[in-house]
Structure 1
Amino acid sequence: MTTLIHLFPGQGSQQRGMGRDLFPRFPRLVAEASDILGYDLAALCLEDAEARLGRTEFTQPALYAVEALGHLARVEDSGRAPDFVAGHSLGEYAALFAAEAFDFATGLRLVQKRGALMGAVSGGGMMAALGLPLERLQSLLAADPGLASVDLANQNAPLQTVLAGPVAALEAAGLAIDAAGGRAIPLNVRTAFHSRHMAPVRAEFSGFLDGIDFAPLMLPVIANASGLPHRDGEVALRLAAQIDQPVRWVESVQYLLDEPDPEFLEIGPGQVLTRLLTDIRKAPVPANIARRF
């Protein structure tokens, strides 16, 4: 029998129209979400008349809700729960919901707070570095003292790493990447997510997490901050660390690829994680490479 693994994408996967087939199936949860958020969840996702879906404070609750409902629908339709779950950045919250670490409403309040804190931060940015392996990218950054403020934020695939830091330093890093034969693509983000520059947000969010009771996990959930399964009693610690630490996606997927006959299913809008999975399968890297961040 295959090992069924549900994957949940993070911010950037949102799109207008998401949830169209899900909202009529779960009217009670949709109404509950709208009450908690203070606005109409379905109208935001389906119409986005005020162009708010791309703003972090709206994106995160909306995407979590759609992915959580998508998980419920998939289990209901297939009659089979996944054996493992993992989510990229924000997607980790949908994964934890699937593992019953908290109920739908608690998860929504968590991402509402997370999105509000992260959305309030400005200054800095992010850049995708394509075509260079992690070691080469690390060498480039280490060789220039002017790039010391740039962090490795996400290792998405063996040849795709996202950098975060001050805009001027990122621009300089982009020139070095291009000169080394890679390709640097600035992302439409005005905050250095998953980097040391988010430490104040981590501190505030950590205090919020202290008030949450996390239930024992009913499924193994891979933690972004470690690339290994969450352990009961440490979920809040790992979620706080996720704010200013890199997303170890390559390492997370490699851990799952070691399971017997793994079958991956992306739950959420788009297929970004499915494409990354293909890249990771084609060009595997040593399992400990992301630990050198």
Structure 2
Amino acid sequence: MTTTYVFPGQGSHRVGMGEAAFGRYPHLVRQADSVLGYSVADLCLSGPAERLGDTRYTQPALYVAGSLAYLERVRETGIVPSLLAGHSLGEYVALFAAGAFDFLTGLELVAERARLMAEAGDGGMCAVIGLDAGRVTELLADVAPEGVTVANLNAPRQVVLSGPRGLHDTLRGPLVDGGARSVVSLPVSGAFHSPHMRPAAERFGAFLRSYRFNDLKIPVLSNVTARPHEDASLGELLTRQLVEPVRWTECVGYALDQPGGDVVEVGPGRVLTGLLRQLRESRAEAAA
């Protein structure tokens, strides 16, 4: 049986996350504080929400909370997964779990990634619920302003778009008229996973080249390829992840196709569990 642990990304953060794990790993929390220059436990547990929602703080906080949740999960269950995946920022938690880098190195990478993405300039993202990627792309050809691209392929009928600030207001009407159940603005400050991030990706790629990664002890699915990472191309794909869509539906599909196909979300929230349920339902409908 293949057990896959999946880790959430930005959007799953909330004040209070990580409460059960922070007290069990005080040495790692102290080390994280020394890297970040502030108390990550205080931020996660007490907020304020506005600061926790700032990309510069959200991503390191999620990395710490997700990594500690993974350690706690293994400690409690004794189960070491046979496959790992993470949604956007969650991919760094998966790579920590797989041994690509130690806890502090991963935090350094995430903190720099967050800084560069936050500095990339204004932009926005919105989730289109109820339409598949083909239909969304078809509608965008007629109504989208310049610079709008598909950023996340989250579920068979959930697609996230990136583009200029205000794209939700511009696109909501035409997409709903075209069959979308809803169009939801996401609480982010940039057009992530799109060409808008190219300057940040170039700088991040140069930053990654100063690190040497360990060989993976557990396979990790790449957001970019939806297939297991190869050790030699890890840095390249993490750089491309900033400018290319997160192919989450394919990642989860790959995990479900493994013998046994057990997929478990680890970390704050249950966003990925909901997406997994949608994919299972879509597969059941297709097989009926």
If the TM-score is normalised by the length of the shorter chain, which range does it land in?
Answer: over 0.9
Alpha carbons of structure 1 residues 170 and 47: separation in structure 2 relative to 1, 3 Å: closer
Scaled by the length of structure 2, the TM-score of the pair is 0.94
Distance 2:26 2:60 in 1: 17
Is residue 128 of structure 2 the alignment partner of residue 129 of structure 1? yes
Residue 157 (structure 1) aligns with: 155
Residue 47 (structure 2) aligns with: 48
Residue 288 (structure 1) aligns with: none
Q: Does the CA contact (< 8 Å) of 2:53 and 2:187 recur in 1?
A: no
Q: Does the CA contact (< 8 Å) of 1:164 and 1:170 recur in 2?
A: no
Deviation track 1:171-216 (CA, whole Å, cap 9, x = no partner) reads 4332221111212222222311111111111001001000111100
Alignment of 1:28-39 (within 5 A): 28-39=27-38
Is residue 40 of structure 2 the alignment partner of residue 15 of structure 1? no
SS at match of 2:23: helix
Alignment of 1:59-98 (within 5 A): 59-98=58-97
Distance 2:188 2:43 in 1: 20
Alignment of 1:216-227 (within 5 A): 216-227=215-226
SS at match of 2:211: coil
1:148 CA displacement: 4.3
Is residue 164 of structure 2 the alignment partner of residue 204 of structure 1? no
AA aligned to 1:68 is: S
Residue 178 (structure 1) aligns with: 176
Distance 2:169 2:51 in 1: 28
Distance 2:96 2:167 in 1: 37
AA aligned to 1:14 is: H
Q: Does the CA contact (< 8 Å) of 1:141 and 1:148 recur in 2?
A: no
SS at match of 1:234: helix
Distance 2:165 2:54 in 1: 19
How many residues get paired? 283
Alpha carbons of structure 1 residues 102 and 188: separation in structure 2 relative to 1, 3 Å: same
Alpha carbons of structure 1 residues 50 and 79: separation in structure 2 relative to 1, 3 Å: closer
Percent of aligned positions that are identical: 45
RMSD: 1.5
Q: Does the CA contact (< 8 Å) of 2:124 and 2:166 recur in 1?
A: no
Q: Does the CA contact (< 8 Å) of 1:85 and 1:95 recur in 2?
A: yes
Deviation track 1:8-47 (CA, whole Å, cap 9, x = no partner) reads 0001111111111111111111110000111111111111
Distance 1:109 1:14 in 2: 19
Q: Does the CA contact (< 8 Å) of 2:125 and 2:167 recur in 1?
A: no
Is residue 145 of structure 2 the alignment partner of residue 147 of structure 1? yes
Q: Does the CA contact (< 8 Å) of 1:44 and 1:53 recur in 2?
A: yes
Report the more deviating stretch, 168-177 or 118-127.
168-177
Report the more deviating stretch, 47-56 or 241-250.
47-56
Distance 1:105 1:54 in 2: 22
Q: Does the CA contact (< 8 Å) of 1:150 and 1:170 recur in 2?
A: no
Is residue 284 of structure 2 the alignment partner of residue 273 of structure 1? no
Distance 1:247 1:49 in 2: 29
Distance 1:60 1:15 in 2: 12
1:170 CA displacement: 4.9
Distance 1:57 1:169 in 2: 22
Alpha carbons of structure 1 residues 219 and 172: separation in structure 2 relative to 1, 3 Å: same
1:51 CA displacement: 4.0
Structure 1 gap ranges (5+): 286-293
Q: Does the CA contact (< 8 Å) of 1:11 and 1:89 recur in 2?
A: yes
Report the more deviating stretch, 22-31 or 116-125.
116-125
1:121 CA displacement: 2.7
Distance 1:177 1:148 in 2: 16
1:120 CA displacement: 1.9
